[in-house]
């Protein structure tokens, strides 16, 4: 079972230890990396003079970066050969920029994956119901992967996997595939949202994995519900639930909706797959409560002794990935784990906010909403980093603020021209709006060490108090004026943002379209500055993800008394699913 290369690092490195040391040394000493991954934010872009581009980028980079079309630059950063690429008029990138770009590529984990979709067992139509192209690709490939992994575990350690425990199973697309032909696996789907479990059970019945109960209803009442829902949505469980609530009200509707659904039956037969749902939100890796609920064909006192579990997950958000990985150590019955993480911005921080010894990885002030503030301030033993190596590196440990972790969720290699234009435009709108907010007194600049900011302060000693906006209607991005008007409307009418309403009415209520247009015209020539830095931020953050994944693998390797083997590899086509790295751990037979 041991892999020749337990981490998918560049062939330039001779061992995972050499790679890890190079990764840590660069990320903890490179001021440019720390600047781009945690030290700058789009809200600050136009709030200082001459602007964040000039403050953040080395002077010798300015002429080259500003002389190139932004898509030309993006292609150069992520797709082209850095040494052989030529530019118009014979201009060459500065050597320091070239060295930086090469270092990022050198330290980025390899993401290549040869898709075998055409050779994998096809998902039956009822099993693939509700899946888009991306989800079908993920489910097909991961179901095949964990099936092969379970065989490998059995052959190597003699531990025959009896059940797959899916963390954050959602609507159980993966579990449904594993329980169906040709895999016929026993699946324990752990999900914290009851509506997801209800929807999953509806899909299970369509796939023939559950027995549809006979449901007795008031026919006249049911006909009225069907009329409200519409015949075109008769196979949509969410539309049906909404119609029931509309007709009967919230309380009665909830009761009526569940008639029969709680009676969905799952038969257990030798040689056939089985699904069991366990409702609950995980707060740690101790699965004893879940294990105690697992159903088995075995009977008598030996039942629990025959459980051999593999914890699996496709795109478990934030700390849920940590819970899955830790479950290998905290539960005797968990024999292997295979976890694909995502949503790094939702990770908590084990070591607390970055210290001021790291000048650019400052505590991120944006976006300061309740959850982000709580998570960034608490010292959570469940958070990042997991491993002792990263927790104690050079006596200070490795810290990543939320801005760096949010950027690690990007995939610049996949950005099309249209995607890039959309990103850049939205970020430009938000940056200019922040300047309007400051000028009109909606918010103000603050110093990171406390107090109001001054003109003499460095751009990296201050930031703006943010105003959280969230999502807007698509029509709000049709123009900058529409964007500003959409923000004002949302922040003065939405109950979610009622704390901003009075300030917004007072400070922004009288702004005219002419004033909005004047701001746009003033800063439009500088949009490229923001687009360049955003592209470099996303490019650099590929090794933020490498840090997070390497930390998870290192954590498993540090527990060699329990863990037989651990590795990381790709399981999806990056162009379809960029969070494509699975962290695998296999427990020793006698542990």
Higher local confidence (pLDDT), 2 or 87: 87
Which one, of 168, 541, 555, lies nearest residue 350 by Cα? 555
Tell me, yes or no, whether 282 lies in a domain: no
Tell me how far apart the terminal alpha carbons of the chain are, to the nearest angstrom: 17
Highest mean pLDDT among 69-83, 267-281, 455-469 belongs to 69-83
Cα–Cα dist 344/316, whole Å: 10
* Burial (Cβ within 10 Å: 0-12, 13-18, ≥19) of residue 500: buried
- Is position 496 within any domain? no
Selection from 168-172, 188-192, 346-350, 550-554 with the highest mean pLDDT: 550-554
Asked whether residue 284 is assigned to any structural domain, the reply reads no
- How far from the centroid of its chain's Cα atoms is residue 217's Cα? 42
Phi, psi of 586 (to 5 degrees): -125, 130
Write phi, then psi, for 279 (nearest 5 degrees).
Answer: -90, 130
Q: At what angle do helices 59-67 and 95-107 cross, to 10 degrees?
A: 80
68-106: buried (b, 16+ CB within 10 Å) or exposed (e) per residue? bebbebbebbbeeeeeeeeeeeeeebbeebeebbebbeb
Of the chain, the percentage scoring pLDDT greater than 90 comes to 57
At residue 361 the predicted structure's pLDDT band, cuts being 50, 70 and 90, is: very low
Number of domain units in the chain: 1
> In this predicted structure, which of 15-24, 86-95, 329-338 has the lowest mean pLDDT?
86-95
CA distance 447 to 555: 36
Reported as a single tens digit per residue, the pLDDT across 193-246 is 888 988 999 899 989 898 877 666 677 788 888 888 888 877 777 788 788 778
| Average pLDDT across the chain, whole number | 86
Characterize the bridge pairing of strands 445-447 and 462-464: antiparallel
Beta strands in 356-509 (DSSP E): 445-447, 462-464
Q: Give this prediction's pTM.
A: 0.86
Give the mean pLDDT of 378-404: 90
- Residue 244 included in any domain: yes
Residue 243 lies in a domain: yes
Span 317-327, pLDDT tens digits: 999 999 999 99
pLDDT at 455: 59
d(C-alpha 515, C-alpha 216), whole Å: 63
The pLDDT of residue 367: 38
CA angle (344, 349, 355) in 5-degree steps: 120
Q: Count CB-CB contacts under 10 A for residue 548.
A: 24
pLDDT digit string, tens, across residues 518-571? 999 999 999 999 999 999 999 999 999 999 999 999 999 999 999 999 999 999
Strand ranges for 240-308 from DSSP E = 274-279
SS3 295: coil
What pLDDT digit, counting tens, does each position of 471-523 carry?
A: 899 999 999 999 999 999 998 887 776 777 888 889 999 999 999 999 999 99
* pLDDT tens readout for residues 438-467: 999 888 776 655 556 555 555 566 667 777
Contact 412, 78 (CB under 8 A): yes
Q: What percent of the chain has pLDDT over 70?
A: 87
Residue predicted with more confidence, 309 or 90: 309
Domain hosting 233: range is 219-255
Angle between helices 498-508 and 417-439 (to 10 degrees): 70
Instruction: With a cut of 90, say whether residue 258 has pLDDT above it.
Output: no
CA triplet 20, 24, 26: central angle to 5 degrees?
A: 120
State yes or no: pLDDT of 90 exceeds 90: no
Residue 522 lies in a domain: no
Q: What is the pLDDT of residue 2?
A: 53
Rounded CA gap, 163 and 276, in Å?
Answer: 10
Whether 199 is covered by a domain: the verdict is no
CA angle, residues 339, 340, 342, in degrees to nearest 5:
130
Contact in structure between 574 and 542 (CB atoms under 8 Å): no
HSE-CB for 275 with a 13 A CA cutoff: 32
Phi first, then psi, for residue 111 (nearest 5°) are: -120, 10
Question: Measured between alpha carbons, how far is 484 from 523 in angstroms, rounded to an integer?
Answer: 15
Lowest mean pLDDT among 27-31, 32-36, 191-195, 491-495: 491-495
Q: Flag whether 223 is in a domain.
A: yes
384: DSSP letter:
B
User: In angstroms, rounded to a whole number, what is the distance separating the alpha carbons of residues 23 and 103?
Assistant: 10
Query: What is the per-residue pLDDT across 159-176, written as a single tens digit (0 to 9) for each?
Result: 899 999 999 999 999 999
Task: Please determine, for residue 72, whether its predicted confidence score (pLDDT) is greater than 70.
Answer: yes
Q: What is the largest CA-CA distance in the chain?
A: 81
């Amino acid at each position: 079972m041991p892999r020749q290369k337990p981490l998918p690092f560049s062939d330039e490195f001779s061992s995972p230890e050499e790679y890890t040391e190079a990764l840590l040394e660069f990320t903890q000493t490179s001021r440019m990396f720390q600047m781009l991954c945690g030290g700058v934010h789009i809200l600050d872009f136009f709030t200082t003079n001459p602007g964040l581009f000039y403050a953040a980028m080395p002077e010798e980079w300015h002429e080259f970066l500003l002389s190139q079309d932004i898509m030309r630059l993006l292609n150069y950063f992520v797709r082209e050969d850095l040494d052989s690429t030529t530019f118009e008029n014979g201009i060459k990138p500065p050597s320091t920029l070239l060295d930086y770009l090469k270092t990022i590529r050198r330290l980025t984990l390899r993401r290549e994956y040869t898709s075998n979709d055409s050779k994998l067992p096809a998902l039956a139509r009822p099993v693939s119901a509700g899946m888009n192209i991306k989800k079908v690709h993920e489910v097909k490939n991961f179901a095949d992967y964990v099936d092969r992994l379970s065989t490998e575990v059995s052959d190597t350690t003699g531990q025959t996997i009896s059940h797959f425990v899916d963390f954050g199973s959602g609507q159980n697309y993966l579990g449904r595939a594993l329980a169906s032909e040709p895999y016929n696996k026993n699946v324990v789907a752990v999900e914290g949202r009851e509506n997801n479990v209800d929807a999953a059970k509806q899909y299970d019945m369509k796939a023939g994995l559950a027995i549809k109960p006979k449901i007795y209803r008031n026919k006249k009442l049911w006909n009225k519900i069907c009329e409200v829902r519409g015949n075109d949505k008769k196979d949509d469980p969410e539309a049906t639930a909404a119609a029931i609530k509309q007709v009967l009200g919230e309380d009665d509707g909830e009761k009526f909706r569940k008639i029969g659904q709680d009676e969905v039956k799952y038969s257990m037969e030798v040689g056939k797959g089985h699904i069991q749902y366990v409702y609950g939100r995980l707060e740690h890796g101790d699965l004893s409560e879940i294990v105690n609920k697992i159903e088995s064909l075995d009977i008598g006192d030996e039942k629990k002794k025959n459980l051999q579990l593999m914890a699996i997950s496709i795109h478990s958000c934030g700390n849920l990935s940590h819970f899955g990985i830790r479950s290998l150590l905290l539960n005797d019955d968990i024999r292997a784990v295979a976890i694909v993480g995502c949503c790094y911005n939702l990770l908590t921080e084990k070591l607390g906010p970055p210290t001021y010894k790291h000048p650019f990885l400052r505590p991120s002030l944006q976006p300061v909403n309740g959850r982000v503030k709580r998570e960034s301030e608490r010292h959570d033993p469940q958070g990042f980093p997991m491993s002792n190596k990263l927790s104690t590196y050079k006596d200070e440990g490795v810290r990543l603020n939320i801005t760096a972790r949010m950027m690690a969720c990007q995939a610049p290699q996949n950005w099309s021209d249209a995607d890039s234009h959309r990103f850049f435009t939205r970020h430009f709108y938000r940056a200019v709006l922040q300047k309007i907010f400051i000028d009109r007194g909606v918010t103000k600049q603050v110093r990171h060490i406390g107090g109001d900011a001054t003109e003499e302060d460095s751009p990296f000693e201050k930031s703006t108090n943010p105003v959280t906006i969230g999502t807007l209607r698509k029509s709000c991005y049709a123009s900058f004026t529409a964007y500003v008007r959409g923000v004002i409307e949302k922040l003065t009418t939405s109950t979610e943002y009622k704390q901003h309403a009075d300030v917004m009415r007072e400070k922004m209520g009288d702004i005219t379209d002419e004033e909005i247009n004047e701001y746009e015209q003033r800063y439009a020539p500088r949009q490229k500055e923001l687009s360049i830095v955003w592209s470099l931020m996303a490019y650099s953050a590929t090794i933020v993800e490498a840090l997070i994944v390497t930390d998870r693998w290192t954590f498993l390797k540090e527990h060699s008394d329990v863990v037989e083997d651990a590795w990381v590899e790709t399981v999806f086509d990056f162009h379809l699913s960029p969070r494509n790295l699975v962290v695998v751990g296999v427990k020793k037979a006698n542990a």
